[in-house]
C-alpha cells in the first residue's frame, strides 16, 4: 500500500502543509485542514500507517521524520487557531459595541426621612452614655401627661401647652394627645426601679400651626434617676451631647434658669449661634438659640411615681427633634417635614445604609 518514504519528500511535505495552514482564513477551513492532514483518513495519518510495513532501523528513521512533520503541522494548526480566534473575538467585540452614554436601567434607593435619621443619631449618642430607649403611647390620660408631672388641675402652666383633647375615658379620665414625651418618664418610673437611665423619642402634639409650629412634632425625653446624679452631671451629659451631635467641639453652651412644673431646679439650654439674613449659623457668634429644657426631677414627680425622693434624685430633659435637624442639616422650613414631597425627601433624606453610629461617625 505505501511505498518507502524518502526523507527529502517529507521535508517538502512539511513545508507544503505548514504553508497551506498559514493560508487558511477561517476557523472552519482550519478544522477542514486538520481533518485533511491529521484526521482518520488524513494524509499524515496515512503515512503513519505506512510505517508498519518497514522494518528495524528504516522504521525508526522514518517514524522520527514523520513525527517531526506531525509536530510541525500540529504547531502550525494551533498557531493559526490562536490568530483566527483572536480575530474572531475582535470582530465580535466590535459587533457588540453599544452607546454607553445611554442611561442605565432605572434603579434607585429610597431615602430615610431626616426625623428618623436624627432620632437614630441622638439615640446613638445617648447610648454611648449608657441610656436605653423607652417608649409610650401617643394617647395619654391626664394623669400621665400632667398630674403625675406636677401640673395640678387648673394650673396656668398647663396653658403653656396647647393640648388636644379626646373624649373622656369611661372612668372619667381626661384623655389627651401627649403634649410632650415626659409621660414616658412617668411610665418608666412607675414600672422600673432605680437606677434608671432612659431616652424616649416619639411623636408629640400641640394645638399650634404656623410658620414655626406644627400640630404634630417629635421630641426626645431623657431621664436619669439614681442616688447621686446632680446638676453638674446634667450639664456634662447635655454639653457632650450637643457638641457631638452638632459636630462642633467648641460649641458655646449656656444654661439659664427656667420653669417647668416637673423639674426643680429647672433650666433651659442655649447654644451659640448667629442670625443674619434669616439664616442661623452655629458657633461662637454672640447670639443664642434655645434647644432644650431640663432640670432635676421634682420630688413631687418622684413621689407620684412611687420613688422615694429622700433617697433618689436625677435629671430629666426634653428636646425637639425637628429643630436640631433643621439646624444641623440646613432645612429651612419646619412644615415641609410632613408634606412627603418626593423632591424634598430625595434632597434632605439619607441613604438607607447610612446608619448613625458613633464609632464610624454620625451622618453629616
Partner 1 sequence: MKFTLSWLKEHLDTEATTAEIAERLTALGLEVEGVVDRAAELAPFTVAYVKNAEQHPNADKLRVCVLDTVDGEIQVVCGAPNARTGMMGVYAPVGTHIPGTGLDLKPGVIRGVESNGMLCSEREMGLSDNHTGIIDLADQDVGRKVAIGDSFAALIGLDDPVFDVAITPDRADCAGVRGIARDLAAAGLGSLKPARPPAVPGAFQSPLSVEILPEAATACPLFVGRYIRGVKNGPSPAWLQRRLLAVGLRPISRLVDITNFFTLDRARPLHVFDAHKLKTGIVVRMSRPGEELAALNDKSYTLADGMTVIADHESALGLGGIIGGVPSSVTDETTDVFLEVALFDPMRTAATGRRLGIESDARYRFERGVDPDAVIRGAEAASRMILELCGGEASELVIAGSVPEWRRTVDLRPARVKSLGGVELPVHRQAGILIALGFKPRDSEDRVLRVEVPSWRGDIAGEADLVEEILRVNGYDAIPVEPMLRETTVARPAVSPRRRLTGLVRRSLAALGMDEAVTWSFMAEDAAEAFGFVNPGLRLMNPIASDLTVMRPSILPNLVRAAERNRAQGFPHVSLFEIGPVYRDATDKGQETAATGLRAGPGGPRNWARTPRPNDVFDAKADALDVLTAAGAPVANLQVTADAPGWFHPGRSGVLRLGATVLAEFGELHPSVLRTLDAAGPIAAFEVYLDRVPQPKAKKDGSARKPLKLSPFQPLDRDFAFVVDADVAADRLVRAARSADRDLVTDVTVFDVFTGEALGEGRKSVALTVTLQPTQATLTDEQIEAVGQRIVANVAKQTGAVLRG
Q: Which of residues 243-262 bind partner 1 (CB under 8 A)?
A: 254-259
* DSSP secondary structure letter of residue 159: G
Q: How far is the CB of 322 from partner 1 (least distance, A)?
A: 10
Taking residue 229's Cβ as centre, other Cβ atoms within 10 Å add up to 21
Q: Of these, 14, 30, 80, 131, which contacts partner 1 (CB under 8 A)?
A: 131
Contact segment (CB under 8 A) with partner 1 among 2-10, 22-30, 35-43, 119-127 equals 119-127
Separation CA 197–CA 213 (nearest Å) = 30
Q: How far is the CB of 288 from partner 1 (least distance, A)?
A: 9
Q: Is 360 in the site for partner 1 (CB under 8 A)?
A: no
Site for partner 1 in 46-85 (CB under 8 A): none
Dihedral pair phi/psi, residue 272, rounded to 5°: -70, 145
Q: Is 328 in the site for partner 1 (CB under 8 A)?
A: no
Q: Is 130 in the site for partner 1 (CB under 8 A)?
A: yes
Separation CA 134–CA 139 (nearest Å) = 16
Q: How far is the CB of 324 from partner 1 (least distance, A)?
A: 15
Contact segment (CB under 8 A) with partner 1 among 5-13, 51-59, 74-82, 136-144 equals 136-144
Q: Of these, 6, 35, 58, 166, which contacts partner 1 (CB under 8 A)?
A: 166
Q: Of these, 244, 296, 307, 316, which contacts partner 1 (CB under 8 A)?
A: 296
Q: Is 289 in the site for partner 1 (CB under 8 A)?
A: no
Q: Are 192 and 323 in contact (CB under 8 A)?
A: no
Strand duo 132-133 + 196-205: pairing: parallel
Separation CA 255–CA 242 (nearest Å) = 13
Contact segment (CB under 8 A) with partner 1 among 4-12, 18-26, 231-239, 276-284 equals 231-239
C-alpha closest to that of 255 among 298, 291, 297, 229: 291
Q: Is 291 in the site for partner 1 (CB under 8 A)?
A: no
Q: Does the CA dihedral 338-341-347-351 come out positive or negative?
A: positive
Judged by beta carbon, residue 66 or residue 199, the one nearer partner 1 is 199
Q: Of these, 3, 92, 108, 278, which contacts partner 1 (CB under 8 A)?
A: 108
Judged by beta carbon, residue 246 or residue 337, the one nearer partner 1 is 337
Q: Are 213 and 334 in contact (CB under 8 A)?
A: yes
Listing DSSP states for 288-329 in one string gives: EEEEEEEEEEPHHHHHHTT--TTT-EEEEEEEESHHHHHHHH
Amino acid at each position: 500500500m505505501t511505498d518507502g518514504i524518502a526523507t527529502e519528500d517529507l521535508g517538502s511535505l512539511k513545508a507544503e502543509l505548514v504553508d497551506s495552514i498559514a493560508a487558511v482564513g477561517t476557523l472552519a477551513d482550519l478544522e477542514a485542514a486538520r481533518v485533511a492532514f491529521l484526521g482518520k483518513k488524513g494524509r499524515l495519518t496515512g503515512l503513519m500507517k505506512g510505517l508498519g510495513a518497514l522494518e528495524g532501523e528504516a522504521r525508526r528513521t522514518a517514524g522520527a521524520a514523520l513525527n517531526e512533520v506531525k509536530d510541525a503541522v500540529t504547531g502550525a494548526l494551533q498557531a493559526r487557531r490562536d490568530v483566527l480566534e483572536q480575530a474572531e473575538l475582535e470582530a465580535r467585540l466590535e459587533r457588540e459595541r453599544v452607546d454607553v452614554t445611554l442611561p442605565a436601567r432605572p434603579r434607585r434607593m429610597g431615602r430615610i426621612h431626616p426625623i428618623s435619621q436624627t432620632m437614630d443619631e441622638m439615640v446613638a449618642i445617648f447610648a454611648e452614655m449608657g441610656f436605653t430607649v423607652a417608649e409610650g403611647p401617643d394617647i395619654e390620660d391626664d394623669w400621665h401627661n400632667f398630674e403625675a408631672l406636677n401640673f395640678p388641675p387648673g394650673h396656668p402652666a398647663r396653658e403653656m401647652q396647647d393640648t388636644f383633647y379626646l373624649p373622656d375615658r369611661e372612668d372619667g379620665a381626661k384623655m389627651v394627645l401627649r403634649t410632650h414625651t415626659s409621660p414616658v418618664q412617668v411610665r418608666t418610673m412607675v414600672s422600673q426601679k432605680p437606677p434608671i437611665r432612659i431616652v424616649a423619642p416619639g411623636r408629640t402634639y400641640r394645638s399650634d400651626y404656623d410658620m414655626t409650629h406644627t400640630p404634630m412634632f417629635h421630641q426626645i425625653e431623657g431621664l436619669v434617676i439614681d442616688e447621686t446624679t446632680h446638676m453638674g452631671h446634667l450639664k456634662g451629659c447635655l454639653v457632650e451631647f450637643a457638641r457631638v451631635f452638632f459636630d462642633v467641639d467648641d460649641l458655646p453652651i449656656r444654661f439659664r434658669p427656667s420653669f417647668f412644673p416637673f423639674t426643680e431646679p429647672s433650666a433651659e439650654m442655649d447654644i451659640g449661634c448667629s442670625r443674619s439674613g434669616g439664616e442661623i449659623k452655629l458657633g461662637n457668634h454672640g447670639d443664642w438659640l434655645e434647644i432644650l429644657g431640663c432640670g432635676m426631677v421634682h420630688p413631687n414627680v418622684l413621689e407620684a411615681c412611687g420613688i422615694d425622693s429622700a433617697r433618689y434624685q436625677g435629671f430629666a430633659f426634653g428636646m425637639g427633634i425637628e429643630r436640631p435637624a433643621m439646624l444641623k442639616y440646613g432645612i429651612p422650613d419646619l412644615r415641609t417635614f410632613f408634606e412627603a414631597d418626593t423632591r424634598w425627601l430625595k434632597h434632605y433624606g439619607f441613604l438607607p445604609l447610612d446608619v448613625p453610629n458613633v464609632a464610624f461617625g454620625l451622618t453629616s
